[in-house]
């Protein structure tokens, strides 16, 4: 803790509180309001957590004004250029880049936990073929709680580790099973001789009746998207995992809660919404009409893939994904070029518009990711599932950090009550 203090005057009572101030390694100071209720009998009020740090964390740092994103201190641009998803997973979980031996051990463990229990596989038959894949994934991830009774003691570091490896290893298998179920094809088992993303692609697209060859550009693009989606500090789904996990619930249940939170269109569901929006806009001539709708306060329409709670500058991930979209479309996805051209034009128009400039609304990570997924042959309804696979490592890293902290307490926010004042029960016959 620093020597800094924050003095809060209560003009109603004439009293004041000196609140401790914590200094992070990076980022703004944080005023500790923990004793405010005891001293002043008042809560703080910050719906949406606009100015509230919900926890202390060593994992990821974002400077939204400058468009900076660091995983364990490393700029995401450097990781995107030089690393790969499994190495980034290790970094997020362990805190440092692995040595060659550590990476070999980690890869081996992840690649040898890819299978799911056959019973779990049968769960998919309980879903209608047109169930949204996110519904299947959240249901099946939650159901994993029923399979690992011997390794779910959250107080034991070795149990936490095996859980982390299982989630990272099995998310692609579960997601591919959801996809295969939705299109009525037989499930394809994982192949541990392939790298993480190549294995995912073969589970999605291979069929038992013919050979499937993984396109290395597709695997590379997926790996890049997964690096960029791996963590994003205390976002909605990660905070959900932390809050659910703080009760001491089993970790699979906490991750299932995260999957559900990610599904919403204001969060991970935006990548699916962007493609729907672009299809609706249809042609460059219609862009001004939709930009006008987005600016109209009386119209609920928003430009999906634009704006961010933290970034008030270009989302650094969006820049990298835009470049990758160029490469992918050049190499494998010519048919989707018109949609990409439309997205580029929309970005250009919106970024020159006074409304978007003034509100600092820039393209976010989801604006271009769907275009790449689509070019790889992944359908719209699976986009958020892809995000969930990548973000699993972030959820797990944050869950582990929270559980391992000896100061851990259940997350329990307070409220500003605005309902009816105390009143007496009225017998049913006396009610008007
Ligand atoms: N289109 C038009 N106006 C917008 C947009 C948008 N996409 N985003 C924000 N605004 C306006 C909003 O109407 C508000 O205006 P005013 O000050 O006049 O009321 C102002 O900008 C601030 O917006 P906000 O909703 O108060 O900001 P927030 O921090 O609560 O919400 C957001 C952030 C990401 C939910 C929001 O920008 C949004 O809905 N964007 C579209 C959905 C999207 O792309 N989500 C993906 C986010 S990144 C990936 C992830 O988190 O998973």
Q: Is the CB of 317 under 6 A from ligand 1?
A: no
Strands 15-22 and 30-31: antiparallel
Which ligand 1 atom minimizes the distance to the CA of 294? 2
Q: What 3-state DSSP class applies to 395?
A: helix
Probe target for ligand 1 pocket from 264, 307, 383, with the most ligand atoms within 8 Å of CB:
307
113 in active site: no
> Which pLDDT does position 91 carry in this prediction?
98
Catalytic residue among 195, 315, 366, 398: 366
Handedness of CA 215, 221, 224, 225 (dihedral sign): negative
DSSP state of 143: H
Strands 5-10 and 15-22: antiparallel
Residue 251 contacts residue 312 (beta carbons within 8 Å): no
Q: Is the CB of 229 under 6 A from ligand 1?
A: no
Q: At what angle do helices 270-281 and 366-375 cross, to 10 degrees?
A: 80
Distance, in Å, from the CA atom of 289 to the CA atom of 352, rounded to the nearest integer, reads 15
Paired strand residues for 15 = 10
Q: Is the CB of 132 under 6 A from ligand 1?
A: no
> Which pLDDT does position 1 carry in this prediction?
65
Residue 266 φ/ψ, nearest 5 degrees? -80, -10
Length, in residues, of the chain: 432
308 in active site: yes
Catalytic residue among 308, 315, 336, 398: 308
Sheet holding 15-22, edge to edge: 5-10, 15-22, 30-31
DSSP state of 186: P
Distance, in Å, from the CA atom of 251 to the CA atom of 168, rounded to the nearest integer, reads 13
Q: How far is the CA of 306 from the centre of ligand 1 (A)?
A: 7
> Which pLDDT does position 154 carry in this prediction?
94
Per residue of the chain (432 residues), give pLDDT as tens. 688 999 999 999 999 999 999 999 999 999 999 999 999 999 999 999 999 999 999 999 999 999 999 999 999 999 999 999 999 999 999 999 999 999 999 999 999 999 999 999 999 999 998 999 999 999 999 999 999 988 999 999 999 999 999 999 999 999 999 999 999 999 999 999 999 999 999 999 999 999 999 999 999 999 999 999 999 999 999 999 999 999 999 999 999 999 999 999 999 999 989 999 999 999 999 999 999 999 999 999 999 999 999 999 888 999 999 999 888 888 886 656 788 889 999 999 999 999 999 999 999 989 999 999 999 999 999 999 999 999 999 999 999 999 999 999 999 999 999 999 999 999 999 998
Q: Is the CB of 362 under 6 A from ligand 1?
A: no
């Amino acid at each position: 803790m620093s020597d800094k203090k924050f003095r809060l005057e209560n003009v109603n009572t004439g009293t004041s509180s000196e609140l401790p101030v914590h200094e992070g390694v990076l980022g703004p100071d944080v005023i500790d309001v923990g004793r405010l209720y005891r001293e002043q009998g008042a809560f703080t009020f910050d719906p949406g957590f606009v100015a509230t740090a919900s926890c202390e964390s060593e994992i990821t740092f974002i400077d939204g004004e400058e468009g900076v994103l660091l995983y364990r201190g490393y700029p995401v641009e450097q990781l995107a250029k030089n690393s790969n998803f499994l190495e980034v997973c290790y970094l997020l979980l362990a805190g440092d880049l692995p040595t060659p031996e550590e990476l070999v051990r980690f890869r081996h463990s992840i690649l040898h936990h890819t299978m799911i229990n056959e019973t779990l596989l049968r769960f998919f038959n309980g879903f209608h073929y047109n169930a949204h894949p996110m519904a299947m994934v959240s249901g099946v991830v939650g159901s994993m709680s029923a399979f690992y009774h011997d390794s779910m003691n959250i107080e034991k570091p070795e149990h936490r580790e095996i859980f982390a490896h299982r989630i990272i290893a099995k998310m692609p298998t579960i997601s591919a099973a959801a996809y295969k179920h939705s299109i009525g094809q037989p499930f394809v088992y994982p192949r541990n001789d392939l790298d993480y993303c190549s294995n995912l692609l073969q589970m999605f697209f291979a069929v038992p009746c013919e050979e499937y060859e993984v396109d290395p550009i597709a695997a590379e693009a997926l790996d890049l998207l997964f690096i960029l989606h791996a963590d994003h500090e205390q976002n909605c789904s990660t905070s959900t995992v932390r809050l659910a996990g703080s009760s001491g619930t089993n970790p699979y249940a906490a991750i299932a809660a995260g999957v559900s939170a990610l599904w919403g269109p204001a969060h991970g569901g935006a990548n699916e919404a962007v493609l729907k929006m672009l299809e609706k806009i249809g042609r460059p001539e219609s862009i001004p009409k939709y930009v006008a709708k987005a600016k109209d306060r009386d119209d609920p329409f928003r430009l999906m893939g634009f704006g961010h709670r933290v970034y008030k500058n270009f989302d650094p991930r969006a820049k990298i994904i835009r470049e990758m979209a160029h490469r992918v479309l050049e190499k494998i996805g010519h048919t989707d070029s018109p949609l990409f051209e439309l997205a580029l034009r929309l970005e250009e128009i919106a970024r020159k518009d006074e409304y978007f400039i003034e509100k600092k609304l820039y393209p976010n990570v989801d604006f271009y990711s769907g275009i790449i997924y689509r070019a790889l042959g992944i359908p719209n309804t699976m986009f958020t599932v892809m995000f969930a696979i990548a973000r699993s490592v972030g959820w797990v890293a944050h869950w582990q950090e929270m559980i391992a902290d000896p100061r851990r307490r259940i997350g329990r926010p307070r409220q500003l009550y605005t309902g009816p004042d105390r009143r007496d029960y009225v017998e049913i016959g006396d009610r008007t």
